[in-house]
Chain A
């Protein structure tokens, strides 16, 4: 059994008379890059604040590396919050030194983490003059100061330009490779799909989906059929008349089918051959995260 880095069990939290977290349970394993998805107001930031001890859960249990989440256990967490929370009037080195003292870390670590995030040479730069990307990298450096085992990142690429997003993603990949557990919230499904091995989707304070990205995508419906050339329009008309094949559409040289349970892959291939189609490949279709996301949100409406 894998070691659990973060475990939330039945966590509830109400704010201003509204139940923001409705008994959420999550398991993040050691070494995971865990994507926490959900629309605005779903409860992502509240979950992160509860994890960091900024908000107190009304009920439920939170375990960090198997220990109840006390201030001592939270020393194993590094964080980047939604707003970077840096002090504009201080230099990069002064910002990090302040947090280093709070974590009881010695100053050589400051130079080490600045180099790690590619900000060597910017130590004396006033943070107020930094670009959004540099600020986010500095916030990541701050999160790494005390060499935490788990990183909690609240929308780390939000508001960054494409190159800034790529830099931060690359850093997250490097951190994951170095053995850190990364828990991050995001709106960007493509980003989550590329970076994460496991995800959870929260909607209206409830976890609606949780698991490995590959397992979840494998649950997609139907088949994709690859053709050597784009199909002629009369062929598409014929396919539409074959109702039991569940023809859904065409994407270039790929045909999408969602047949009923009575039509298997071999029967589909045979029928298409009989209709005169030359098939290059046929395979079970995998759902994209976007499809899963839309499906779950639609179910919740």
Chain B
């Protein structure tokens, strides 16, 4: 357990210092601003269309979508981008091999790496997502309706569903990154999968502000996590990590 915390603390520091991590955070924060204004405009337009009881479901759904998108960007994509830069560099320079030549086991290395990229992404995700939701409510909904709107299912999606999805994906990306020669390939393929899944979910008839949407996200995250654990149990060894770096 001590080794897990050591690697988690080290990864956290290395990720936050890494140039790719800093670029990811900057891009993300810059990207949130246009998302906020686009969503604000959409909400204002919806509210202007007609009486509240008619447009309410659309307003709530749009709030759900904005919360979901921002949380997904922060927790999932930032998590992947934060971790993969350092993982690629450490692997290429033999640093992972050096770590594994100590009493550190492959599972402590894996989970330390997961924590090092998931925790900052989760923290940033919660602050930014709820910040954006609150700002949208304050700027677009409250002035028109006179009451704060914060739908429960949206809170569950942002606060529980997406974090589970982010944790599962962080675990999967780091696992693949430890076992393949170029961790960038792992992150790229996972990003494509996430984009595909996030496009498919709404087409299944799920609304962004429904409880089922929150649980589908959390369930998908748990499924990815369980699959990662199963693969790790079969595949994650010091030998596989060392040999995947292709320096014999």
Contact = CB atoms under 8 A, between A and B. Distances in A.
Nearest to B245: A83
Interface string B93-112: 11111111111100000000
Interface in B199-248: 237-239, 242-243, 247-248
A163 interface: no
Nearest to B101: A52
Contact of B17 (A52, A74, A82, A89): A89
Interface residues on B, range: 20 to 34
Interface stretch (B2-10, B50-58, B59-67, B185-193): B2-10
A208 to B, nearest CB: 20
Contact of B248 (A15, A86, A89, A98): A15
Contacts, number: 77
Given A56-B239, A102-B3, A83 B102 contact: no
Specify which of B99, B100, B103 lies most central, judged by the most chain A CB atoms within 10 Å of its CB: B103
Interface residues of A, number: 31
Contact of B94 (A53, A84, A101, A142): A84
B102 A85 contact: no
A102 B239 contact: no
A71 interface: yes
Given A15-B248, A45-B248, A98-B6, A103 B95 contact: no
Given A15-B248, A99-B102, A101-B2, A86 B242 contact: no
A3 interface: no
Contacts of B99: 85, 102
Given A55-B242, A101-B2, A86 B95 contact: yes
Given A54-B242, A85-B93, A46 B18 contact: no
A45 B246 CA distance: 13
A164 B101 CA distance: 25
A34 interface: no
A170 interface: no
B15 to A, nearest CB: 10
A75 interface: yes
Interface in A67-90: 71, 74-75, 79, 81-90
Interface string A119-135: 00000000000000000
B248 A53 contact: no
A86 B94 CA distance: 8
Contacts of B102: 99, 102-103
Contacts of A87: 10, 14, 90, 95
A25 to B, nearest CB: 22
A81 B98 contact: yes
B86 to A, nearest CB: 8
A46 B239 CA distance: 11
A49 interface: yes
A46 B248 contact: yes
A75 to B, nearest CB: 7
Contacts of A103: 102-103
Contacts of B237: 56
B93 A83 contact: yes
A71 B101 contact: no
Interface string A100-122: 01111000000000000000000
A7 to B, nearest CB: 19
A102 B94 contact: no
Nearest to A104: B2
Contacts of A104: 2
Nearest to A13: B239
Interface in A36-66: 45-46, 49, 52-56
A104 B3 CA distance: 9
A101 B6 contact: yes
Closest 7 CB pairs of A and B: A85-B98, A83-B94, A85-B94, A102-B102, A101-B6, A52-B101, A54-B242
Interface of A: 15, 20, 45-46, 49, 52-56, 71, 74-75, 79, 81-90, 98-99, 101-104, 142
26 contacts: A45-B248, A49-B242, A54-B242, A55-B239, A55-B242, A55-B243, A81-B97, A81-B98, A81-B101, A82-B94, A83-B94, A83-B97, A83-B247, A84-B93, A84-B94, A85-B96, A85-B99, A86-B95, A86-B98, A87-B14, A98-B10, A99-B98, A101-B2, A102-B3, A102-B102, A103-B102
Interface of B: 2-3, 6, 10, 13-14, 17-18, 86, 89-90, 93-104, 237-239, 242-243, 247-248
Given A54-B100, A89-B18, A98-B6, 18 more contacts: A15-B248, A20-B248, A49-B242, A54-B242, A55-B242, A74-B103, A79-B101, A82-B94, A83-B247, A84-B98, A85-B93, A86-B93, A86-B95, A89-B17, A99-B98, A99-B102, A103-B102, A103-B103
